[in-house]
Amino acid sequence: MTDLRADDLRTLARQQIPAEVWDFIEGGSGDELTVAANTAAFAAARLRPRVMVDVSAVDTGVTLLDARLDTPVGLAPTAYHQLVHPDGEVATAAGAAKENALFVVAMFASRTLEDIAAPAAGPLWLQLYWLRDRDAIARLARRAAAAGFAALVLAVDAPRLGRRLRDIRNRFAVDGRVRAVNLDASLMAASHDRQAGASALAAHAAQTFDASLTWADLAWLRERSPLPVVLKGILTAEDAAAAVAHGAAAVIVSNHGGRQLDGAVATLDALPEVVEAVDGACPVLVDGGVRSGRDALIALALGADAVLLGRPTLWALATGGSDGVADLLRHVTDDLAHDMALAGRPSLRDVDRRLIRAVTNAR
Ligand SMILES: Cc1cc2nc3c(=O)[nH]c(=O)nc-3n(C[C@H](O)[C@H](O)[C@H](O)COP(=O)(O)O)c2cc1C
Ligand SMILES: CCCCC(=O)C(=O)O
């Protein structure tokens, strides 16, 4: 298992995941232009390795919101892990803990926050959507702090759901045996209802997501929880500067894996302007199309403090449970360390923009 690359996991996972669940995971919105752009941006970057540097010891350790991690590679929030493995997020958390890696748990996790936190030695953050039912958010924010989560991650790119044509064509609804158990069943009912709309998830989001979210609302969340608030879904310098001004503890450069605005900029292409605007005021993370240690190295060179894996997490969980998740994290981290050595960068402090030959924004 250890030597499997993310692409190999994808091939294996595809063989065992039911077709409509596969489409839900794999798909993006619209023409899936942004899904393709995310990986293409990494593939286009070229590196400037240095030589005659002592790389006999390579260190991938990083500190993020006061937590010491062994790797800058973590797991992005993805909903409903029980769709691909009976133990769901409990297995994912155990895998991440084994590698002392960050796991961002989704608001629509299929296991309770308390069960997920139990085996985890690694830090957990909790992702939230801005629901009209503000009490539900406040309750989750309180429970997360009590369960030992270290941060809240507000997804700010989902006033409504992107138009995911695969789900619409499949009339996708979440299997009723898999539930977002951290929220009231009544709030989640439409997600399981094949009559709710062509995509039950889109119908559910239309009912429950609050599209009126603005910067002024952040204070409400910050007052309700002692946890730092991270914003996920930032793609521009303007919003990065606003995030810092409104007290974001970190920002995650993300286009939601190409599942929200189709045609949105590739995350790697958005990263430099966000890093420049944040100017060291808080950590910058990035997700979207990260599949290898090389991808991680490129993002770190362009100023990211950490990278998150979305779809690969589900491939690994589906094919290998908690060991699969740990193997994925170890593999990508080993690959990163290998490339750091060959690039003459023994620690993440040495990984900077000079490592990248040229970044073109037009593609
Ligand atoms: C199946 C699936 C479910 C997702 N669910 C959520 C979610 O519940 N909340 C969220 O903020 N992002 C969600 N995302 C987006 C991921 O957090 C992340 O931004 C994206 O997957 C990264 O791109 P990658 O899949 O290319 O690695 C989901 C993505 C996928 C593929
Ligand atoms: C209601 C959406 C559930 C998670 C998801 O599919 C996503 O955020 O992309």
CATH number of the domain encompassing residue 283: 3.20.20.70
Question: Best of 201, 255, 256 to mutate for ligand 2, by most ligand atoms within 8 A of CB?
Answer: 201
200 lines ligand 2 (CB under 6 A): no
Q: CA-CA-CA-CA torsion for 325, 331, 334, 339, nearest 10 degrees?
A: -130
Return the residue matching tokens 């309770």: 112
361 inside domain:
no
**Residue 205 belongs to a domain:** yes
Domain span holding position 88: 6-355
Q: What is the pLDDT of residues 80-98, one digit of tens each?
A: 999 999 999 999 999 999 9
Can you tell me whether residue 92 is helix, strand or coil?
helix
**Pocket lining: 108 vs ligand 2, CB cutoff 6 Å:** yes
The answer to whether residues 69 and 101 touch, using CB atoms and an 8 Å cutoff, is yes
199 in a domain, yes or no? yes
User: What's the whole-number mean pLDDT along residues 133-141?
Assistant: 98
* Cβ 79 under 6 angstroms from ligand 2: yes
Residue 94 lies in a domain: yes
Q: Is 1 among the domain residues?
A: no
CA distances from 214 to 174, 242, 269 (A): 29, 11, 25
pLDDT tens string 51-67: 999 999 999 999 999 99
155-to-18, 93, 109, 126, 210 alpha-carbon distances in Å: 27, 20, 14, 10, 12
320 domain residue, yes or no = yes
256 catalytic per annotation: yes
Given this model, what pLDDT does residue 360 score? 55
Give the number of the atom of ligand 2 that is nearest the alpha carbon of residue 78.
Answer: 4
- For residue 119, the surrounding DSSP H or E stretch is none
Residue 4 to residues 287, 313, 316, 326: CA-CA distances in angstroms?
Answer: 21, 13, 10, 12
User: Considering the domain boundaries, does residue 363 fall inside one?
Assistant: no
Average predicted confidence (pLDDT) for the chain: 96
Q: What is the mean pLDDT of residues 139-162?
A: 97
Which residue of the set 246, 256, 331, 338 is catalytic?
256
Would residue 326 count as lying in a domain? Answer: yes
Report residue 315 as tokens: 């491939």
What is the tally of structural domains in the chain? 1
| CA gap 105, 31 in Å, rounded | 28
**β strands within the chain, DSSP E:** 62-64, 67-69, 73-75, 103-105, 124-128, 151-155, 229-234, 250-253, 284-287, 306-309
Inter-axis angle of helices 293-301 and 267-278, nearest 10: 30
Quote the pTM value: 0.98
Element (H, E) at 116: helix 113-117
Cβ atoms 274, 284 nearer than 8 A:
yes
